[in-house]
Amino acid sequence: MEHYLDLLSVLMLLSAIMLVSHKRIRSYIRTFRLQAILIAVIAGFMGFESLMTEGSIDILVICVIIIALKVVIIPMLLHKTFANVEDVVEKDFYLNIPILILMSCVLVVFSYFTLSGISGLASGHVNLQVVNAFSVILIGFFFMISRKKAIGQIIGYLVMENGIFVTAIFSTHGMPFIVDIGIFIDMITAVLIMGVMVVQINEKFDSININNLRNLRG
């Protein structure tokens, strides 16, 4: 079943790149949800496997949490927060879409190059999956930089988190349980706080264009 995981990891990557290519906030959120589902599936696989082998249900629990959080709650929150600007097409990028996609491919290559030096993840399969997952992290980060609106940052952050989670689950079959829980709590609060702030920014600056936040310089 390893190749299923390979497939899923590749799909993850694709979803990330897809995200980069989008322009509408709604489609951002949709893509994010899609990615969340993929993660849930991966987690399900892994959890099932570990249930069979070690009889631990940690990962399954986490899988459930993911479904609850990333597939349901967070997208809902985002929808609520950005209801008024959902259909606005984000126009001004620092670079245009094709170049962004190209650069994200470069990032994939880069992460392959850098990770391949590490003997720790020797066996090819793990390596491939980790590389994909890792590229998702970088792409998420890159996405944050490439989008000017606040939503861009939030989504990018979430994608990073996804990538990290998948990297964790691929490379070490998950962190210690308590850590994972903590991570999830942090993430949800982070997103909450960001959301609240976006609302505040929106009413203070009457726009969520982060580029307007440039009073503090030097």
Partner 1 sequence: MGLVLWIAPLIAVALSQFAKKARTLHAISIGVSLVMLVLAGYCTHAVMVAGELTYTIFNGLFLIDSLSIIILDIVTVIYFLTSIYAIGYLQEEVRHGKISSEKLRLYYMLMYVFLFAMVVALTVSNIGIIWVAIEATTLASAFLVGFQNDHNSLEAAWKYIIICSVGIAITLVGIIFLHLSSVDVIQSGDALKWNVLLSEAKHLDEPVLRFAFIFILIGFGTKAGLAPMHTWLPDAHSQAPSPISALLSGVLLNSAMYAIIRCLTIVNKNSGDSQFAGRLMIGFGLLSVLTAAIFILSQKDYKRLLAYSSIEHMGIIALAMGLFTPLSIFAGLLHMMNHSLTKSMLFLASGNILQKYNAREISKIQGLLKTLPITGTVFLLGLLAISGTPPFSIFGSEVNVFISVFNADQAGLGIVLILLLAIIFAGIAATLFRVFFGSADAGQVQPGETNLPGALAICVLLIAIVVTGLYLPDGLKDLFIAARQIVLGG
Partner 2 sequence: MGMFESDSLLCLTIIIYMTAALVALVFSGQQRISILLTQGLCMLAGLSGAASALVFLLSKEEAFHLNLFSSPIPFLSVDIAFDGLAAFFLLVLSMLVFCVSLYSIGYLSHYIGNRNVCAYQILYVLFILSMLLVFVAGNGILFFMAWEAMAIVSYFLVVFESENPETRKAGLIYIVMTNVSAALVLVALMLMYQYTGSFDLSHSAEQIPGNIKNVMFVLFLIGFGTKGGIAPLHVWLPRAHPAAPGPISALMSGIMIKTAIYGLLRFLLDYLGAGHAWWGYVLLALGIFSAVMGVLYAFISKNIKRMLAHSSVENMGILFIGVGIVLVSAAGGAKEVAALALMATLLHCFFHAIYKGSLFLSVGSIHFATHTKNMEELGGLIKRMPVTAVLCLGGALSIAAIVPFSGFVSEWLMYQSIFSSFVLGQAGLNILLIITAAALAMAAALSAGSMIKLYGISFLGRPRSSFAESAVEVPKAMNAGIGILVSLSLLFGLFPRIAVNLLNGIVSDLLGVPIKDQLTGNVLLVSFPLHINQNAISPALALGLCVVVVLLTLLFLRGIGGKYSQRIYGTWDCGFKALTPRMQYSGRAFSKPIKIVFRMFIKSTRELKLVGDAVYHPESIEYNVKTESALEKNVYLPFIRGVSALSEKLKFMIQTGSVHAYLLYIFAAVLVLMLYNRVN
Of 87 and 213, the one with the shorter C-beta distance to partner 1 is 213
For residue 84, the minimal CB distance to partner 1 (Å) is 19
Interface residue list for partner 2 (CB under 8 A): 94, 110, 113-114, 117, 138, 141-142, 144-145, 148, 153, 210-211, 213-218
Choose, by CB under 8 A, the member of 57, 60, 105, 210 that binds partner 1.
210
How far apart are CB 143 and partner 1 at their closest, in Å?
A: 11
- Residue placing its CB nearer to partner 1 in the complex, 45 or 157: 157
Distance CA 143, CA 103 (A): 11
Q: Which is nearer to partner 2, 10 or 213 (CB)?
A: 213
Nearest one of 51, 50, 80 to 151, comparing CA atoms:
80
197 binds, among partner 2, partner 1, none (CB under 5 to 8 A by kind): partner 1
Q: How far apart are CA 39 and CA 18, in angstroms?
A: 16
Selection from partner 1, partner 2, none that 142 binds (CB < 5 to 8 A by kind) is partner 2
Confirm if 63 and 44 have CB atoms less than 8 A apart: yes
> Hey, what's the torsion of the CAs at 191, 197, 200, 202, to 10 degrees?
-70
Cβ-contact 146, 93 below 8 angstroms:
yes
Q: Which residues, at least 6 apart from 199, have a Cβ–Cβ distance to it below 8 Å?
A: 81
DSSP structural state of residue 149: B
CB of 147 vs partner 2, minimal distance in Å: 8
Nearest-angstrom CA–CA distance, 134 and 180: 18
Q: What is the size of the binding site for partner 1 (CB under 8 A)?
A: 42
d(CA 195, CA 191): 6
Q: Which residue number, 96 or 214, has a Cβ lying nearer to partner 1?
A: 214
Write out the residues near partner 1 by the rule CB under 8 A: 117-121, 134, 137, 141, 144, 150, 153, 157, 160-161, 164, 167-168, 171-172, 175-176, 178-179, 182-183, 185-186, 189-190, 193-194, 197, 200-201, 204-205, 210, 213-216, 218
